[in-house]
Amino acid sequence: MIRYIFLLVTALVVIGLSVLISILPTSVQSPEQVIDTDLAARGNTYFISQTDIFDGLHIIKNQNVRIHQGIISEIGPELIATPDEVLIDGSGKTLIPGLIDAHTHSFGNGLSDTLRFGVTTHLDMFTMEHDLHQTKAKRDSREFSSEADLFSAGTMATVEGGHGTQYGFAIDTIDSIDEVPQWVSQRKAAGADYIKLVYMPNQDYMPSLTREVAAEVIRVGQAEGLLVVAHISTQAAAMDMIEAGIDGLVHIFADQVASDEIVSLAAQKGLFIIPTLAIIASVDEQQLNVALAENPQVKARLSAEQNATLVSSFGSHLPGYDLDIAKQNVKRFFDAGVTILAGSDAPNPGTAYGVSTHHEMQLLVAAGMTPTQALSAATQLPAKHFSLQNRGRIEQGTIADLVLVNGDPTVNIVNTLDIEYVFKNGYVITISTKLAKGATLSSPLLGDFEDANKLVTAESFVWSHSDDKMANGQSIGTIKRIAEGAGDSAGALRVSAKVNVGFPYPWAGAAVGDFIPPVEGFDITQYSTLSFDVKGTAGTYRVLSFNADMAGIPPSQSFIITPQWQRIELDLAKFNGLNHKAFSGFAFVAGPGLGEFEFVLDNVQFEKR
């Protein structure tokens, strides 16, 4: 299964890497989440005393809260705990509703990873549809769950070859306006809670729905009682969708400062915007994600998989993704009365499930909203606009999806990360993240290619080709052992790559490692450097790194190839997100430049500190 799928369509520098996970599978160790044994005597029935409450709208001081079988049954300063109730002291703390991330892509361990950070509901904007009906039954239950609840658009409205078709699994597309009613009917039958469409016209790397077809998706979806939201990346596209009656935009545009005309029309139409500033900050190379990963409160709840996506990057700055412009646009729309919702777009590069919801609230405050307004954007407002019953508020009768934090987040938004307890359906969730640790690597050599009969290392790492055909691309990668190596070497590996149009970010090359599950990985902490000899078609190439407990964008480094043999040395510490105690492999790839490439590798090995 693809564990990390969704990227902004314009982030061509990394789209191919996410699909590479499918080709080079990794084994992910799930963080363990269990009922706190010290607080489980009454299951999901508790009494929280003397806590301040943020009820979704404002702060209420010094309250007592009774939770009975997963539901908030009473609130008030006069309440008194009975002798048989499990008591939690809320002094100096604030009880807030379970957070709602209004823009995610929920794959793999996403729903459990996010819960550790107090995000109890995902509004998913693209995932596989095969089990959406099961998620509906689960979110209606008050039984113990180690996962956040999922509401989803399922697949998204796009065209053949358009954004959403490049991730290695088939989706229904819309290729004429006549197909729209059937497509919407299929989404309802699959269990989608709302409709998401992709409208990105006037770009040359991927086709898009036309304005007429997108407008028909809006009309038919709304006639069927479904909310319809749009993925856009420019002001012009946003204007088209607002004029067509879209219910919400799931990104803010950052190609230019919002005009008075579009701000006024958006306010008049009463739509909402999910800015996803966290992902724009990542594309804009602000490095805020790296600083976030070093926060001790984040580290305590972050799995290796989350860390890998959080510290990864898009590789280069892309035009049209300016964080300062994005924040200005958030402020302009917000001041005009347009509803802003908090959504992270996790697990894109620079984001991670759960933690990036907190980061998004911080960025909304940086854009000019108050902490109270940012909290509302992640609680009661998404519940209101997506019609989520009994969520996003703290009041009698609502689900006891709650987070107890130290301090007052309405004064300082960073306090949302100072988590004391997470409640899901009234159960207290405790956290134990596991970091894989593999066996000691017996040899630093990954490939000298001296043996003419095999391409297998001492660790049974296998050399193989890698290309984008798994993602329906047209590139071709082949490998062959040859007799002439670097210097006096008796062998080398020739990698031939034909990188073709057919995938937004084409690639081809070679890979070495252990990628057949279950993967435990190897400990490479004694080594500081990956070195290899290489020559070939001149240009820039990349090495991708993998470990056993990672999914998502592989940490990578670039290197230059010339026609003459040269020795390349890459600092292992600069593969940001690689777990050096569970290493499982590397890939050496060409692309996204098109054409035929060839390079020869030799003496691939680790070197000690």
CA angle 24, 26, 32 (to 5 degrees): 165
pTM of the model: 0.76
Contacts of 100 by beta carbon, 8 Å cutoff, 6+ apart: 119, 120, 121, 122, 123, 342, 378, 379, 382, 383, 388, 391, 392
Task: Provide, rounded to the nearest whole percent, the portion of the chain with pLDDT above 70.
Answer: 86
Residue ranges and CATH numbers for the domains of the chain are: 15-24+437-608 (2.60.120.430), 98-393 (3.20.20.140)
Q: What is the C-alpha end-to-end distance of the chain, expressed in Å?
A: 37
Q: Which residues of 199-218 are buried (b: 16+ CB within 10 A; e: fewer)?
A: bbeeeeebbbbeeebbbbbb
pLDDT in tens, 299-334: 889 887 888 889 888 766 677 899 999 999 999 999
Longest dimension (CA), the chain: 85
Q: Determine the 3-state secondary structure of 117 from DSSP.
A: coil
Half-sphere exposure of 256 (CA within 13 A, CB side): 11
Element spanning 360, H or E: helix 355-366
Which among 30-44, 247-261, 504-518 has the top mean pLDDT? 247-261
d(Cα 191, Cα 151) in Å, to the nearest integer? 9
Between 196 and 499, residue with greater pLDDT: 196
Output helix, strand, coil percentages for the chain, rounded to the nearest 5: 25, 30, 45
Between 434 and 603, residue with greater pLDDT: 603
What is the predicted pLDDT for the residue at 127? Answer: 87
Which of the residue ranges 70-74, 130-134, 180-184 would you say has the lowest mean pLDDT?
A: 130-134
CA angle 148, 150, 155 (to 5 degrees): 145
Alpha helices in 380-492 (DSSP H): 380-385
Q: Which residues of 429-441 are buried (b: 16+ CB within 10 A; e: fewer)?
A: bbbebebbbbeeb
Which of the residue ranges 98-102, 136-140, 177-181, 436-440 would you say has the lowest mean pLDDT?
A: 436-440
Q: Determine the 3-state secondary structure of 262 from DSSP.
A: helix
d(Cα 227, Cα 188) in Å, to the nearest integer? 12
Which among 92-106, 309-323, 504-518 has the top mean pLDDT? 92-106
Q: Please choose, from the candidates 36, 40, 49, 66, the residue with its C-alpha nearest in 3D space to the C-alpha of residue 394.
A: 66
d(Cα 246, Cα 238) in Å, to the nearest integer? 9
CB atoms inside a 10 Å sphere around CB 518: 8
pLDDT in tens, 324-382: 999 999 999 999 999 999 999 999 989 999 999 999 999 999 999 999 999 999 999 99
What is the predicted pLDDT for the residue at 368? Answer: 98
The mean pLDDT value for 583-597 works out to 86
Q: Determine the 3-state secondary structure of 72 from DSSP.
A: strand
d(Cα 345, Cα 232) in Å, to the nearest integer? 13
